[in-house]
Chains A and B, each alone.
Chain A
Amino acid sequence: MRNITTKKTKSYQLVNRKVPYLFILPWIIGFLVFTLGPLILSLIMSFYNWPITSEPTFVGIDNYKTMFTADPQFYKSIIITLKFAAIFVPLNLAIALILALLITQPLKGMKFFRTIFYLPAVVSGVAISIIWGWIFNSEYGILNYLLSFLGIEGPRWLVDPKWALLTIVIASAWGVGIMMLIFYTNIKGIPAELYEAAAIDGAGPFRQFFSITIPSITPTILFNVITSVIGALQQLTLVLLLTGGGPLKSTYFYGLYVYNNAFKHHQLGYASANAWFMFIVILVLTMLIFKTSSTWVFYENEVKKEGKKGRRKNENIKRI
């Protein structure tokens, strides 16, 4: 034992102190040039009136003032984005979880279904927008044709302000495979003994699902909630290509609002203020979810610790 430790220290002494920094040097340079630099510049710009063609002028907090008090589109875009998130996040999470539960069933052909469900996740946003745009097409679209068999007269999806947001939800949820895969590997990792023990205790499939599966995957649920909320806030490609924000600005998402302020209206300073607002919202949201997580997220290592103390079950149930 001692032999190994001395060997290790010796081996470490052989490393030149500068060498580790050489390995991570590319990241340090990239961080300064492509992340930290732009981040600081963006913050500075948010205090300037910065048109693309003429000289920038310092305006203090005017951009933020305008945003909060004199720009109705700012609030409208926030509401649209929140509406989207409120439908998309739970729906996406539920579909991902249902699909993951389906493909972890001990049945034949599950690998095949796993592949199928994941496939749209590798397709470009451009292709997704074209595919769904054609399906939702109000003149030649196959969807409304299929709906007519059920006696439903389909709406003019992308042209009707009432329905356009939903089309974006449906097209976005097509990429649910990534989240499904995360749940899938997580569920697969739950020890079989837990289920066996529960079955011996007489717990049925529903009881097993709520007392074993759900508590075991709460960290993953947390992770997926955070990433999909952040994803919803930044949604841009599909909106840009599928509806362009219309009809009647009914899908004028916050991401599109920032993008247009910058590259269409050329108000770089104002758009930077918009972007920083989004950044702060994302920071606060992430922290909030993490803070509240201790009340509902159950970490695996806690099971192990508590298991050693011999009170695994009671604690588990209390936590749920």
Chain B
Amino acid sequence: MKISKGYKIIMYSLLGLFSLYFVLPFVWVILSALKTETEVFSYPPKIFPEVLQWKNFVDAWSSQPFGVYLKNSVIVTVMTTIGQLLSCSLIAYGFARFDFKFKNTLFVLMLATMMIPWDVTMIPLYMEFKMFGWINTLKPLIVPSFFGSAYYIFLLRQFLMGIPKDLESAARIDGANEFQIFYKIFIPIMKAPLILIAVLNMLSVWNDYLGPLIYLQDQSKYTLALGLAAFKGVHDLQILPIMSITLVMIVPPVVIFLFAQKYIVEGISGSVK
């Protein structure tokens, strides 16, 4: 099909126009973070900083224990990713590759849990974690990930359903036990969906605000998201550090996304049919 020039122009202008909405806010944050105090608080705004103020990042970073917040964020992100990969692969494998009593009922039940609003379980969960003595520790953010997450299990199970049954039959006849079959044969096959789950989990945990807000009290336990929000709550007018830390917070997810984009696009096409 031949595409006319006019059509192309219209399409690219539309694409360009929408891009402004998605890109300009980022650009504006970067420009703001690199200004001086006077530049950032001038009106009409100065679009470009005269001299790029890279030291804003250093000043911002040392003004609060952001290093501690970063460490906590990394701990929670890494631990939950390990937890989700371990638990979800086991659970999804169980649902996809075996026949057992109540399988379908349990699976439907699992899907139904995705509809429960966070608001319903937040209060009892808070009380439960308080009873465990876990409030003001990272445990409420980490431990549940070791018991799987419905959406990730669903994604993995869809993938596993597409693999022919003969695969484990042969191994069984050769005398391999079920767990050997699982980690020797299936874990390598599941590489792509496992990467997808790791990426989705890292993004959502790194960005999570409400969980840390409810469970963490001491600054020494804050994650980066909570620390940044708390800092902004108190020092609303310190735009320079706020902008610099916001940028620092955005960079890891953006980098992860750029590297793993392929998996996300393919993963979504695999799951929604």
- Complex CA distance for A85 and B142, rounded to whole angstroms: 32
Check if A15 sits within 8 Å of B258, measured CB to CB: no
Main secondary structure of the interface of B (DSSP, over half): helix
Q: A31-B113, A230-B115, A234-B119 are in contact. Are A45 and B124 (CB under 8 A)?
A: yes
Check if A107 sits within 8 Å of B8, measured CB to CB: yes
Check if B207 sits within 8 Å of A125, measured CB to CB: yes
Which B residues, 229 to 266, have Cβ-Cβ distances below 8 Å to chain A? 229, 232, 239, 242-243, 246, 249-250, 253-254, 256-258, 261, 264-265
Question: Which A residue sits closest to B199, measured CB to CB?
Answer: A122
Check if B43 sits within 8 Å of A145, measured CB to CB: yes
Q: A31-B113, A140-B45 are in contact. Are A7 and B94 (CB under 8 A)?
A: no
Which A residues, 85 to 127, have Cβ-Cβ distances below 8 Å to chain B? 95, 98-99, 102-103, 105-107, 113-120, 122-127
Q: Which residues does B use to contact A, with CB under 8 Å?
A: 1, 3, 8, 11-12, 14-15, 18-19, 21-23, 25-26, 28-29, 32, 40-45, 87, 90-91, 93-95, 98-100, 103, 106, 109-110, 113, 115-125, 127-128, 144, 146-148, 153, 165-166, 168-169, 172-173, 178, 182, 203, 206-210, 214, 225-226, 228-229, 232, 239, 242-243, 246, 249-250, 253-254, 256-258, 261, 264-265, 268-269, 272-273
A40 to chain B, nearest CB (A): 8
* Residues in B neighbouring A218, C-beta threshold 8 A: none
Question: Which A residue sits closest to B168, measured CB to CB?
Answer: A11
Check if A27 sits within 8 Å of B15, measured CB to CB: no
Partner of A116, one of B22, B110, B118, B203: B22
- Complex CA distance for A107 and B18, rounded to whole angstroms: 16
* Residues in A neighbouring B41, C-beta threshold 8 A: 140
Q: Which 5 A-B pairs have the closest CB atoms?
A: A30-B147, A23-B94, A185-B269, A124-B207, A38-B124
* Residues in A neighbouring B91, C-beta threshold 8 A: 23-24, 26-27
* Residues in A neighbouring B243, C-beta threshold 8 A: 130, 134
B169 to chain A, nearest CB (A): 4
Main secondary structure of the interface of A (DSSP, over half): helix
Q: Which residues does A use to contact B, with CB under 8 Å?
A: 4, 7-8, 10-12, 14-17, 19-24, 26-31, 33-35, 37-39, 41-42, 45, 95, 98-99, 102-103, 105-107, 113-120, 122-127, 129-132, 134-135, 139-140, 142, 145, 174, 177, 181-182, 184-186, 188-189, 220, 223, 230, 233-234, 236-237, 240-241, 255, 258-259, 262-263, 268, 271-272, 274-276, 278-279, 282-283, 286, 300
A289 to chain B, nearest CB (A): 12
Check if A7 sits within 8 Å of B169, measured CB to CB: yes
- Complex CA distance for A262 and B146, rounded to whole angstroms: 27
Check if B147 sits within 8 Å of A29, measured CB to CB: yes
Question: Which A residue sits closest to B225, measured CB to CB?
Answer: A126
